[in-house]
Structure 1
Amino acid sequence: MTIQTTGFSHVRLTVRDIAVSRRFYDRVFGWEVAYELPADADQATRDQLWFAFGGVIYRVPGGLLGLRPVAAGDDSISEDRVGLDHLSFSVGSKADLDAAVAVLDAVGAPHGEVKDAGTMHLLEFRDPDGIALELVAAKG
Structure 2
Amino acid sequence: MSEPIARPTALAHVRVTVTDIARSKAFYQQLLGADPVIDFSDQVDEPGIREDRERFYGGCVFQLGDQVFGLRPVAPAGQRFDPDTVGLDHVSFAVGSVDELHQAATRLDAAGIEHGEVTELGQAGMTILSVQDPDDINLEFAALSS
TM-score normalised by the chain length of structure 1 = 0.85
Cα deviation for residue 39 of structure 1 reads 4.3
Instruction: Tell me the equivalent position of 1:65.
Output: 69
Indicate the residue corresponding to 1:127 in structure 2.
Answer: 133
Shift of 1:72: 1.0
Identity %: 39
1:85 to 62, 85, 89: 89
TM-superposed deviation, 1:58: 0.9
Q: 1:30: which partner in 2? A: 33
Displacement, 1:98? 0.8
What is the total number of aligned residue pairs between the two structures?
134
Structure 1 residue 120, shift from structure 2 partner: 1.7
**For residue 88 of structure 1, what is the amino acid of its counterpart?**
S
> Residue 116 in 1 paired to residue 120 in 2?
yes
Q: Is the 2:120–2:145 Cα contact (8 Å) retained in structure 1?
A: no
Question: Could you tell me how far apart the structure 1 residues matched to 2:42 and 2:142 are?
Answer: 36
TM-score, normalised by the number of residues in structure 2: 0.82
Deviations 1:61-86 (A, max 9, x none): 23111101111111111111111101
Shift of residue 124, structure 1, vs aligned partner: 1.0
Q: What RMSD in Å do the two structures reach over aligned CA positions? A: 2.1
The structure whose residues are more often strand, as a share, is 1
| Structure 2: runs of 5+ lacking an equivalent | 44-48
CA drift at 1:95: 1.3
Match of 1:43? none
- Preserved CA contact (<8 Å) 1:16 1:75: yes
Give the direction of change, closer, same or farther, for the CA distance of 1:98–1:5 in structure 2 (3 Å limit): same
